[in-house]
Amino acid sequence: MNNMKYSFRQATAGDAVEIWKILEKAIKRRKEDGSTQWQDGYPNLSVIENDIKKSVGYVLVDDDIITGYCAILINDEPAYANIKGAWLTNGDFVVYHRVAISEKYLGQGLAQRILQHIEDFALKHNIYSVKVDTNFDNTGMLWILQKMCYHYCGEVTFRGSPRKAFEKILR
């Protein structure tokens, strides 16, 4: 692992199919884990293509191999206005969705590496709040959020399902 040269960059249209392959496997893993997350046809290839068109799709690459994906947005999650609970802050925030790691790279801390890049992205934009939500049964992501010092803030609803909402304040 030490000889890998990771970089984080904006996804391009040419990356879409490879990103979708990573997400398809992640969707299958969620199902095998007994999770209801991502089992309703979302996300899909057109969601990824739309992320890329809107310049919000990002990839973690090992040299030129895509190892992970996420979408990063600024102040753009309408569902977060209706939290059952309370956010830690009410100002500008970065929100991320669709974090997925290539099956070949699981268990190497790459999701945490992506989250660190998201925090760096926020700081570069002078934003000190990062918000995210995940399914109640996504034990992997819940563990990572705890490890990365996110605070549980309450519940938000997506496509009719409640999700756990978290925020991290960057200093």
Tens of pLDDT, residues 58-108 = 999 999 899 999 999 999 999 999 999 999 999 999 999 999 999 999 999
Sort 47 into a burial class: Cβ within 10 Å, 0-12 / 13-18 / 19+. middle
**Model's pTM, two decimal places?**
0.94
Q: Are strands 94-101 and 129-134 parallel, antiparallel or unpaired?
A: parallel
Strand partners, 59: 9, 69
Token pair for 93? 């925030």
DSSP state of 66: E
Question: Where does the pLDDT of residue 171 fall: very low under 50, low under 70, confident under 90, or very high at 90 and above?
Answer: confident
Amino acid type, 98: R
Amino acid type, 90: N
Token pair 């996300």 is at which residue?
43
The mean pLDDT of 136-150, rounded to a whole number, is: 95
Model pLDDT, residue 3: 58
* Rounded Cα distance, 78 and 73, in Å: 12
Token pair for 81? 């206005």
The mean pLDDT of 36-46, rounded to a whole number, is: 93
Token pair for 110? 């790459």
* Rounded Cα distance, 166 and 158, in Å: 14
pLDDT mean across residues, the chain: 95
Amino acid type, 165: A
